[in-house]
Structure 1
């Protein structure tokens, strides 16, 4: 079985700022580039072609869209997030479409009890007080991260948690 994840890897002009924060707070910093997760990690025996066919079909009338990220928040599990402020509807629509058909069985249980909230993880902090301190600290960051999204990617999560891009699919 292969463990995969489906994501968007934005290439913001000011990506270096995200990387500086991730280097300090994200244990996956060296393993995966900054991303927005659309389909959470899942194990399957699907072939690359089967998965590509499903994704292309799910995205058939999805157009390129503008992604804008600004502001910091925290999530359960000690996560530090950058917030999506433009492109939320498109990301949610893609997320919902991908979790149909062959991928429906891989939808995590928590998504049946809460809405998908598009975000970019920039850290994972075990100590709740430290997480709150960092949220307050990064609230002063006035950077906006913007890009036209033209593709999504499927990664294979390697044995050492490294990201191996299996395929990239263009959005119309």
Structure 2
């Protein structure tokens, strides 16, 4: 089965992202706005139980994760994705790295924390949307206190398998 690991931002940021996603993201109905910590990976039932135990231990190493959005960015020319750029911070980077190392998955792209606004756009759509959005000022801050292990359903949508609350060992 396919799994992934993500942080779901708060309602305000989700509403902002969805205001664009419903028009510009064909995956709008398949998964809520999120920050991917680990992209798709495969695991069977036995493996996912062990991974879940490991993720619980990782979650205990962190109090919270600061989420700060200041601008729009794009992955062009690699692909026509426009996103809200999450400012890098050591806790977020450390959490990503620890999860990757702990569960032993590889990733093909560097970790660029973001919330997708539009994807699979034509070149003209991409240019129009990006030109418009980069003129706007974005300023949003929140704190995440959990991350989620997700799995893909037969219809291509993603749902939560397990939630891991952050909290340092006392």
TM-score scaled by length of structure 2:
0.87
Per-residue CA deviations over 1:25-75 (Å, capped at 9, x if unaligned) read 111111100000001011111444322211122233222122111311111
Aligned to 2:9: 10
Greater mean alpha carbon deviation, residues 133-142 or residues 75-84: 133-142
Q: Select which of 78, 84, 87 maps to 1:82.
A: 84
CA distance in 2, matches of 1:92, 1:20: 28
1 or 2, which has the higher strand percentage?
1
The one-character-per-residue Cα deviations of 1:85-120 (angstroms, maximum 9, x if unpaired) are 2x532222111111124x32x313x24xxx311111
The aligned length equals 164
Structure 2 partner of 1:140: 135
8 Å contact from structure 1 (residues 69, 84) kept in 2? yes
Structure 2 unaligned blocks of 5 or more: none
Q: Output the CA distance in 1 between the equivalents of 2:156 and 2:138.
A: 29
Superposition deviation, residue 14 in structure 1: 4.9
Residue correspondence of structure 1 range 118-157 to structure 2 within 5 A: 118-157=113-152
Partners of 2:82 and 2:45 lie apart in 1 by 32
The corresponding residue for 1:117 is: 112
Give the Å deviation of 1:135.
1.1
Q: TM-score if structure 1 supplies the norm length? A: 0.86
Q: Determine whether 1:168 maps to 2:163.
A: yes
In 1, Cα distance between equivalents of 2:29 and 2:136:
23
Matching of residue 59 in structure 1 with residue 59 in structure 2: yes
Over the aligned positions, Cα root-mean-square deviation in angstroms equals 1.8
What runs of 5+ residues in structure 1 fail to find an aligned partner?
Answer: none
Q: Distance in 1 between matches of 2:49 and 2:42?
A: 16
Q: Give the whole-Å Cα distance in 2 for the aligned partners of 1:14 and 1:67.
A: 10
* Residues 129 and 19 (structure 1), Cα distance of their counterparts in 2 relative to 1, 3 Å cut: same
Check the 8 A contact 2:59/2:166 in 1, yes or no: yes
